[in-house]
Amino acid sequence: MQYGWNEVRDFGDEMVNMTPIWKDIYTLLPSFRDETKVLLGNGKMTSFWLDLWCGSLPLANTFPALFSHVTRPNASVARVLSTPELLLSLRSRLTGAARRELLELQALVSPAMLDNDVSDARIFRHNQKPPTTKQLWLANPFLEAKQNIRTTVLTCVLWNVWKCRNAKVFRSKDESNLQIAARCHEDLLLWSHRSNTVIDKDKLVGWSSFFLEAVG
C-alpha cells in the first residue's frame, strides 16, 4: 500500500512524487487527529504516537522527550506492540528524561491488547455517540441544498468507489461497503478543513458523521 503502513514506511511519512490529493490529506492529518480518537482493534490503522488511542492525549504529547528520539514517528500501534519490549525505533543514547518517560510509557501501554479480528474505529472526541441509523438512511446527497457540498460529498463517494474498484482489479482485494463508508467518513472530515465558511465546514462534518454511523 503506497500511502499506508508497511515494513519500510508509515502513513504520514514524506514521499517523493506524492499526488496533490495525498499532499492535501497529509497536510490536514494533524487537524483530523485533533478532532478524533481511536477505539483500538488490530492497531493497523492507528498511529502509535500521533493518534489519541491511549490516555487523555496522544503519546507524542504525553512523552515529548522520548518522542524526540523516535526515528519512525508515524509507526502504527500494531508495529510498536508487535514485540513485548515495544518496537519503538529509538535513537541510541537516550537522555535521562527520555529514559524516565520510556518506563512510564511501558507501564501505560502494557495493558493494551490488540484484536486481529477487529479493525480500528474512529470517533469524534466531542461527540462519543454517532448519529442514529435512521438519520443515516434518510441522508441523500442528491437532496443537499448547497451545490458545492453536494458535489463534494458525491465526489468523495465516487472517489472511494473507484479506489475499491482498483483494489479489486489490481490487487485482487475485495473491500466491503463498510470500508468504503469508513474512507468517506475520514475523507470528508479532512476536506471539511478546506471549507471557505463555517457553515460549509459544519455540513461536511455532518456528512462525515453519517458515514461514521454506517461503520458502526
pLDDT at 42: 93
Cell 475499491 sits on residue? 164
pLDDT at 3: 56
pLDDT at 136: 46
Query: What does each C-alpha distance from 96 to 36, 65, 92, 99, 154 come to in angstroms?
Result: 32, 9, 12, 5, 52
Per-residue pLDDT of the chain (216 residues), as tens digits, is 455 667 778 888 887 777 776 776 677 678 778 878 999 999 998 999 999 999 999 999 999 999 999 999 999 999 999 999 999 999 989 999 999 999 999 999 999 999 999 988 888 777 775 434 454 445 556 556 688 888 888 889 888 888 888 888 888 888 877 788 889 999 999 999 988 899 899 889 988 888 887 665
Q: Are 186 and 32 in contact (CB under 8 A)?
A: yes
If you ran DSSP here, which 8-state letter would residue 130 be given?
P
CA dist., res. 62 & res. 64, Å (int): 6
> Could you state, in order of their start, the residue ranges of all structural domains in the chain?
36-109, 129-215
pLDDT at 142: 56
Nine cell digits for residue 148: 458545492
Distance between start and end Cα atoms, the chain: 25
Phi, psi of 121 (to 5 degrees): -130, 140
pLDDT at 83: 93
If you ran DSSP here, which 8-state letter would residue 142 be given?
G
Nine cell digits for residue 89: 525505533
pLDDT at 123: 82
